[in-house]
A = this chain, B = another copy of it.
């Protein structure tokens, strides 16, 4: 480990910095998962999660990564050979498509340039063309972690409605939940997929599905084999405060504490904070004379910002210099973006001064790595933050 004094800056777009309040909560002794104290924990956690997802329906918690929650959303609602419509927004939407294919689904992907969100108009066109309703689900990644682009879920919903199509709407909020405004019920989402390790300010290890009535109804006839991911026994046992198999007790302690912290700050303030940091970061990037990857002003992510390097410069070399000299981890370009971008995570347990430190490190690292930038990026960001604070 490189030693520089002080705390490591973990500014990848997740897993994020876990507050020590949460880490301490997780360090409590494990309790009997069949006892009365556990039932209280379960009920408290489930009650606190509803507002975070924006739902009054069930939220299912798995001991799993977010990838597991992707799989759960599909195996509970679909049958072998079902058609699903996916939008290529980047590396993670592609992984989800591939996962769907491996499960035996017939995946139709709307191609994308990795600089835009899902295209509601095109989704609408595909559905409208699907006269026989063979498309069973539309899958969208709300915030594409590999690109820093946020898809406009309400517009996707409107497109589906306009097409009058019965397909389910499945949305991945792994890097947006509790960071970017999101409303499962209000936006008519059928399954919301999430994970613990981003805006929920927990370590990785929990996956989530928020489930609409329509999705739950679909699960009754869905034919993909499932057991671990099956919603029904989960929802049934949860009602009594328990789980059908041993849950991740200590992560649930952490989740209770994380939800308490989100409630103390208030979700609207949490969302505003993320937007402020994203805007300040873009101010810095533009002052440096660099380009933000996201190409649509309506779709900038509140969670992370992907920075395009000029041709001939290696983003991984910039990241290497920053890790070595300033003990900060940034996100790499993934898939086709490898080496071309780096990603600044500004989500989770994060504030104005941490952002100032983060951008200070990026600026110095760009310079040390020989990337030609204009001065003044950090100052531009500070100006933005100062105005927001006044």
The residue of chain B having its C-beta at the shortest distance from the C-beta of A265 within the complex is: B3
Least CB distance, A119 to chain B, in whole angstroms: 26
Q: How far is the CA of A205 from the CA of B378 in the complex (A)?
A: 39
Hey, which chain B residues are within 8 Å of A99, CB to CB?
A: 227-228
Hey, which chain B residues are within 8 Å of A390, CB to CB?
A: 368
Q: How far is the CA of A7 from the CA of B19 in the complex (A)?
A: 7
Q: A356 near B: Cβ within 8 Å? A: yes
The residue of chain B having its C-beta at the shortest distance from the C-beta of A266 within the complex is: B3
The residue of chain B having its C-beta at the shortest distance from the C-beta of A74 within the complex is: B227
What are 9 A-B contacts defined by CB distance under 8 Å? A6-B350, A30-B197, A33-B204, A67-B227, A67-B228, A102-B225, A355-B357, A364-B385, A368-B390
Q: A20 near B: Cβ within 8 Å? A: yes
Hey, which chain B residues are within 8 Å of A128, CB to CB?
A: none
The residue of chain B having its C-beta at the shortest distance from the C-beta of A354 within the complex is: B6
The residue of chain B having its C-beta at the shortest distance from the C-beta of A35 within the complex is: B329
Hey, which chain B residues are within 8 Å of A226, CB to CB?
A: 102-103
Q: How far is the CA of A251 from the CA of B165 in the complex (A)?
A: 43
Residues of A whose CB lies within 8 Å of any CB of B are 1, 3-10, 12, 14-21, 23-24, 26-35, 37, 62-68, 71, 80, 99, 102-104, 195, 197, 203-205, 224-228, 230, 244-251, 264-265, 269-270, 273, 323, 325-329, 332, 349-361, 363-364, 367-368, 375-376, 378-379, 382, 385-386, 389-390
The residue of chain B having its C-beta at the shortest distance from the C-beta of A253 within the complex is: B203
Q: How far is the CA of A314 from the CA of B170 in the complex (A)?
A: 48
Hey, which chain B residues are within 8 Å of A12, CB to CB?
A: 32, 34
Task: Assess whether A203 is in contact with B248, with CB atoms less than 8 Å apart.
Answer: yes
**A-B residue pairs, 10 tightest by C-beta:** A356-B360, A6-B351, A357-B357, A67-B245, A353-B357, A205-B248, A203-B250, A32-B329, A364-B386, A102-B227
Number of this chain's copies in the complex? 4
Q: How far is the CA of A251 from the CA of B227 in the complex (A)?
A: 24
Task: Assess whether A265 is in contact with B5, with CB atoms less than 8 Å apart.
Answer: yes
- Given that A102-B227, A353-B360 are contacting pairs, would A389 and B325 also be in contact in the complex, using a CB cutoff of 8 Å? yes
Task: Assess whether A249 is in contact with B203, with CB atoms less than 8 Å apart.
Answer: yes
Contact among B65, B68, B230 for A102, CB-based, below 8 A: B230
Task: Assess whether B5 is in contact with A349, with CB atoms less than 8 Å apart.
Answer: yes
Least CB distance, A300 to chain B, in whole angstroms: 19
Q: How far is the CA of A352 from the CA of B368 in the complex (A)?
A: 14
- Given that A65-B245, A102-B225 are contacting pairs, would A386 and B357 also be in contact in the complex, using a CB cutoff of 8 Å? no
Hey, which chain B residues are within 8 Å of A251, CB to CB?
A: 203, 205
The residue of chain B having its C-beta at the shortest distance from the C-beta of A31 within the complex is: B10
Q: How far is the CA of A348 from the CA of B361 in the complex (A)?
A: 20
Task: Assess whether B68 is in contact with A228, with CB atoms less than 8 Å apart.
Answer: yes
Task: Assess whether B65 is in contact with A247, with CB atoms less than 8 Å apart.
Answer: yes
Task: Assess whether A10 is in contact with B37, with CB atoms less than 8 Å apart.
Answer: no
The residue of chain B having its C-beta at the shortest distance from the C-beta of A22 within the complex is: B27
Task: Assess whether B17 is in contact with A28, with CB atoms less than 8 Å apart.
Answer: no
Interface core residue of A24, A65, A269 (most chain B CB under 10 Å): A65
Hey, which chain B residues are within 8 Å of A354, CB to CB?
A: 6-7, 357
Least CB distance, A321 to chain B, in whole angstroms: 9
The residue of chain B having its C-beta at the shortest distance from the C-beta of A248 within the complex is: B205
Q: How far is the CA of A32 from the CA of B28 in the complex (A)?
A: 23
Contact among B21, B224, B328, B332 for A353, CB-based, below 8 A: B328
